[in-house]
Amino acid sequence: AAIKKYQFDIQVKNVSRLCHAKPIVTVNGRFPGPTIYVREGDRVLVNVTNHAQYNMSIHWHGLKQYRNGWADGPAYITQCPIQTGSSYTYDFNVTGQRGTLWWHAHILWLRATVYGAIVIMPKQGTPFPFPQPNREVEILLGEWWHSDVEEVVKEGTNMGLPPNMSDAHTINGKPGPLFPCAEKHTFVMEVELGKTYLLRIINSALNDELFFAIAGHNMTVVEVDAVYTKPFTTSAILIAPGQTTNVLVQANQIPGRYFMATRPFMDAPLSIDNRTATAILQYKGIPNTVLPTLPQLPLSNDTQFALSYNKKLRSLNSPKYPANVPLKVDRNLFYTIGFGKNSCPTCLNGTKLLASLNNISFAMPQTALLQAHFFNIKGVYRADFPDKPPTPFNYTGAPLKANLGTATGTRVSKIAFNSTVELVLQDTNLLTVESHPFHLHGYNFFVVGTGIGNFDPAKDPAKYNLVDPMERNTVGVPTGGWTAIRFKADNPGVWFMHCHLELHTGWGLKTAFVVEDGPGQDQSVLPPPKDLPPC
Ligand code: C2O
Is residue 394 assigned to a domain? yes
Q: Tens digit of pLDDT for each residue in 33-92? A: 999 999 999 999 999 999 999 999 999 999 999 999 999 999 999 999 999 999 999 999
Interval between CA 106 and ligand 1 midpoint (Å): 7
pLDDT of residue 183: 78
309 in the same domain as 178: yes
Is residue 320 assigned to a domain? no
> Which residue numbers in the chain have pLDDT < 50?
268-271, 402
Buried b (16+ CB within 10 A) or exposed e, 481-512: bbbbbbbbbbbbbbbbbbbbbbbbbbbbbbbb
- Closest ligand 1 atom to residue 498 Cα is 2
Interval between CA 102 and ligand 1 midpoint (Å): 10
Q: Provide the number of structural domains found in the chain.
A: 3
Is residue 523 assigned to a domain? no
- Closest ligand 1 atom to residue 104 Cα is 1
Interatomic CA distance for residues 272 and 277, integer angstroms: 16
**DSSP character string of 277-337:** EEEEEEETT--TTSPPBPP-PPPTT-HHHHHHHHHH-BB---SSS------S-SEEEEEEE
**Residue 233, Cβ neighbours under 10 Å: how many?**
11
CB 491 within 8 A of CB 243: no
141 in the same domain as 123: no
Q: Please list every protein residue whose CB sits less than 6 Å from any atom of ligand 1.
A: 59, 61, 74, 104, 106, 242, 439, 441, 496, 498, 500
Interatomic CA distance for residues 181 and 21, integer angstroms: 11
Interatomic CA distance for residues 473 and 211, integer angstroms: 19
447 in the same domain as 363: yes
Interval between CA 255 and ligand 1 midpoint (Å): 39
Range of the domain at 473: 331-515
148 in the same domain as 107: no
356 in the same domain as 499: yes
Interval between CA 439 and ligand 1 midpoint (Å): 6
E strand map for 147-217: 168-171, 188-191, 196-203, 209-214
Interatomic CA distance for residues 31 and 25, integer angstroms: 9
232 in the same domain as 182: yes
267 in the same domain as 156: yes
Kindly report the CATH number assigned to the domain that includes residue 2: 2.60.40.420
Interval between CA 447 and ligand 1 midpoint (Å): 18
Is residue 520 assigned to a domain? no
User: What ipTM score was computed for the predicted complex, to two decimals?
Assistant: 0.99
508 in the same domain as 367: yes
Residue 65, phi-psi category: left (phi > 0), alpha (psi -120 to 50), beta (remainder) = left
- Closest ligand 1 atom to residue 62 Cα is 1
Order of strands across the sheet with 445-452?
Answer: 407-409, 360-362, 351-357, 331-343, 420-427, 481-488, 445-452, 471-472
pLDDT of residue 273: 52
205 in the same domain as 277: yes
Protein residue with least CA distance to atom 3, ligand 1: 61
CB 36 within 8 A of CB 492: no
**H or E stretch covering 505:** helix 502-506
115 in the same domain as 134: no
pLDDT of residue 353: 81
34 in the same domain as 110: yes
262 in the same domain as 223: yes
Order of strands across the sheet with 115-121?
Answer: 36-39, 115-121, 99-105, 58-61
End-of-domain residue from the set 252, 287, 315? 315
Rg (CA), the chain: 22
**Residue 224, Cβ neighbours under 10 Å: how many?**
26
Q: 435: closest CA among 423, 424, 422, 425?
A: 425
